[in-house]
Amino acid sequence: MTRGRSVFLALSLLVPARIAVTKEVRLSPAPLPMPTAAKLPRWRGFNLLEKFSRDWSNGPFKEEDFRMIAELGFNFVRLPLDYRCWIVDGNWRTFNEGPLREIDQAVAWGKQYGIHVNINFHRGPGYCVNPPAETKDLFTDPEAQEVCALHWATFAKRYKGIPNERLSFDLLNEPNDMPNETYAHVVRLLVAAIRREDPDRLVIADGTRWGNKPVPELADLKIGQSTRGYAPMWISHHKAPWVNWDETWPAPEWPKPRTLNGYLYGDGKPSYAFPLLIKGTFTRETTLGITVHQVSHKANLEVRADGVIVLVKEYLPGPGTGEWKTPIWREEYGVWQNVYDTEVLARVPAGTTLVRISTPQGDWTTFQKLRIAPWPGAPGREAVIVPGAYEWGRTQETFLLGPDGRLTAEKGAPEFDAARLWKEQIEPWKALEARGVGIHVGEWGAFNKTPHAATLAWMKDNLANWRKAGWGWALWNFRGSFGILDSDRTDVTYEDFHGHKLDRKMLEVLQAD
């Protein structure tokens, strides 16, 4: 990674020779790039979490982090902050100077080490993406709006005169899936409060839908916008304890091979009504278990083995109690779409080479998993296959049954790869950028339970996309479960780096950007 640093001093006797970047240290920081709201620099760096949640931490930032980040060749830190860290006894109008001075120190270290500091309210008065919910809602309550504006005005006054090369404000972390107009109203209030104190401060706003959706309604405000790099979440948040996941889900792969879609459409949706075909020799009599999740209106489930029907099951959702788990009435469609979560069994004869699963009549069904196992009483292992997607309108395909019970798509491009990331995560934001709005990726990364090989392959594709787009990024986090230091992955051989456990392969992927 080229940074254009000009003055260096070799330290080859002090650090391991393998860490190429750490052979040198700057005697003085290189100039930081000049940002504008229309074009944010390709800042690259990390989120530092000392004050992102009062319930988790409210300690001072660490000079060591700034020193190591600069040493490794990066130039950006984002400080996600919880406003409760600097208020007094829960009074959101009274500020404690002690924690604010600790933020001042982080800003000063940014100057010392040549690192841009981006201050973000991870929890602002009236909103946080994480629990607990605020007592008052920033997007509907006038007092919460007034107090949030007060906090940002305080920061604007405090840091007035610090150039935008060194400091920027990121208003509110990951607003939820609200109407853009609702969000834009609050953003305008906060930006006005900042500009009354410091008219020239560079301001950035996260997109809605938790940072993933651009907000063109703010294009006239002359502020940047921040997106996210967590897509798809089955790779970025695999087995993260704060999200819903299932032990039966397979370990993520990248690019993601084509997998089962969980929808089976009936003749009520004729353009989508294709069967799921499984090709392969069933060498013994086999149980095919299908866990049906949801049924719309009415539908039947049919399984054929080499053309012979081996299962027909009819479903007729309705009110009250029944074989379903939960009745659901959809007023907008005038139908019941009940949740069943029950398994039905088909008996597949030995020697079968083609299994056909379909909903030939009715609206649609979804299934949670397929279970391929020896018929009860017979020896052998079972395989459990879960759908990799629930995409409305995606037709079923043909899969090949391997000897281990795994299903592989017979043909077709990967289900998820760099090209799909570009289409879904880059193109909508490029349209906003064309209107004069600078873009930066404020958070991204993969939790430490995602296999390392898949993590690195996915990171390389994201970085290549952002490099092509001309965008910078900030990994969540520097030290910790998403980071390059002390991530506690079980499939990494770590190196010692200033007393920390360094994930060298991940570092090299980032430095190559």
pLDDT of amino acid 379: 62
DSSP string, 407-461: EEESS-S-SB-HHHHIIIIIHHHHHHHTTT--EEEEEE---TTS-HHHHHHHHHH
Q: Are residues 384 and 476 in the same domain?
A: no
Q: Are residues 393 and 422 in the same domain?
A: no
Q: What angle do CA 29, 32, 36 make, to 5 degrees?
A: 165
Q: Are residues 161 and 108 in the same domain?
A: yes
Structure-block tokens of residue 438: 């600078």
- When the pLDDT of each residue in the chain is averaged and rounded to a whole number, the result is 92
Q: Are residues 148 and 96 in the same domain?
A: yes
Q: Are residues 82 and 124 in the same domain?
A: yes
Q: Are residues 44 and 79 in the same domain?
A: yes
* Per-residue pLDDT tens over the stretch 441-470: 999 999 999 999 999 999 999 999 999 999
Q: Are residues 230 and 299 in the same domain?
A: no
Report in angstroms the alpha-carbon separations of 390 from 114, 227, 343, 393, 469: 46, 24, 18, 9, 29
Domain that holds residue 503: 37-241+417-511
Sign of CA dihedral 323, 326, 327, 331: negative
CA 4 from centroid of its chain's CA atoms: 32
At 365, is the secondary structure helix, strand, or coil?
strand
Exposed/middle/buried for residue 132 (C-beta within 10 Å: 0-12, 13-18, 19+): exposed
In angstroms, rounded to a whole number, what is the distance separating the alpha carbons of residues 207 and 227? Answer: 6
Asked if residue 257 is part of any domain, the answer here is no
pLDDT of amino acid 411: 86
* Per-residue pLDDT tens over the stretch 40-59: 999 999 999 999 999 988 99
CATH of the domain at 66: 3.20.20.80
Angle between helices 142-158 and 180-197 (to 10 degrees): 40
For residue 173, pLDDT over 70 is answered with yes
In angstroms, rounded to a whole number, what is the distance separating the alpha carbons of residues 284 and 286? Answer: 6
170 or 20, higher pLDDT:
170
For residue 250, pLDDT over 80 is answered with no
Structure-block tokens of residue 429: 């934001």
Asked if residue 8 is part of any domain, the answer here is no
Tokens 């990951």 correspond to 174
Band (pLDDT 50/70/90 cuts) for residue 382 is confident
Which segment of 280-289, 453-462, 501-510 scores lowest on mean pLDDT?
Answer: 280-289
pLDDT of amino acid 18: 33
Q: Are residues 276 and 369 in the same domain?
A: yes
First to last CA, the chain: 6
- Which of 354, 381, 409 represents a domain boundary (last residue)? 409
Q: What angle do CA 411, 414, 420 make, to 5 degrees?
A: 140
Q: Structural domain tally of the chain?
A: 2
Structure-block tokens of residue 201: 């401060």
Compute how many other C-beta atoms are within 10 angstroms of the C-beta atom of residue 131: 7
For residue 22, pLDDT over 80 is answered with no
Report in angstroms the alpha-carbon separations of 355 from 98, 352, 360, 386, 398: 68, 7, 14, 17, 10
Asked if residue 164 is part of any domain, the answer here is yes
Band (pLDDT 50/70/90 cuts) for residue 19 is very low
Strands 76-82 and 116-124: parallel
Q: Are residues 206 and 290 in the same domain?
A: no
Q: Are residues 395 and 467 in the same domain?
A: no
Structure-block tokens of residue 418: 């760099």
* Per-residue pLDDT tens over the stretch 194-206: 999 999 999 999 9
* Helix (H) or strand (E) run with residue 180 in it: helix 180-197
Q: Are residues 316 and 237 in the same domain?
A: no
Structure-block tokens of residue 480: 């910790």
Q: Are residues 303 and 177 in the same domain?
A: no
- Which of 378, 409, 440 represents a domain boundary (last residue)? 409
